[in-house]
Amino acid sequence: MTEDLLSAARAVRENAHAPYSRFKVGAALRSTEGNLHRGCNVENVAYPEGTCAEAGAIAAMVAAGDKRIAAIAVIADCPAPVPPCGGCRQKLAEFADGTVPVTLATTDGQVLETTVADLLPGAFDAGHMDRA
């Protein structure tokens, strides 16, 4: 299952709009419904108004009617597997429990397997909103 996510992330990465940083990122996730959703980073000259690849994949998932992430892969051309930014870690935690696998990869084949909880320990969640 990880290979199909990495393959989808690698393919969508090519569509990234990164004329300023030239740092293309692709993300692909599988929803708990079994559907594949992809996203790539989209930069804007008015930093930081761009969109991260992970956020794009999550938006595609929600737009398609799915609500939960079962697994996600993120790929970039860099020296080591690239982790999601802090904001995307929180976005992942919104739609995935802590055990959800996260595959981080480089275009030259390095892979790091982790989980949402390892990326964002002590995540802020809906339980923090309870005022009982």
Does 43 show up as a binding residue in the annotation?
A: yes
Does 12 show up as a binding residue in the annotation?
A: no
Q: How far apart are CA 132 and CA 126, in angstroms?
A: 13
Query: Residue 31: CB partners within 8 Å, gap ≥ 6?
Result: 37, 61, 64, 66, 67, 68, 69, 70
Does 15 show up as a binding residue in the annotation?
A: no
Choosing from 33, 54, 94, 113, which is the catalytic residue? 54
Query: Residue 86: CB partners within 8 Å, gap ≥ 6?
Result: none
Does 35 show up as a binding residue in the annotation?
A: no
Query: Is 33 among the catalytic positions?
Result: no
Does 42 show up as a binding residue in the annotation?
A: yes
Three-state DSSP at 41 gives coil
Does 132 show up as a binding residue in the annotation?
A: no
Annotated binding site for substrate: 41-47
Annotated binding site for Zn(2+): 52, 85, 88
Which positions are annotated as active-site residues? 54
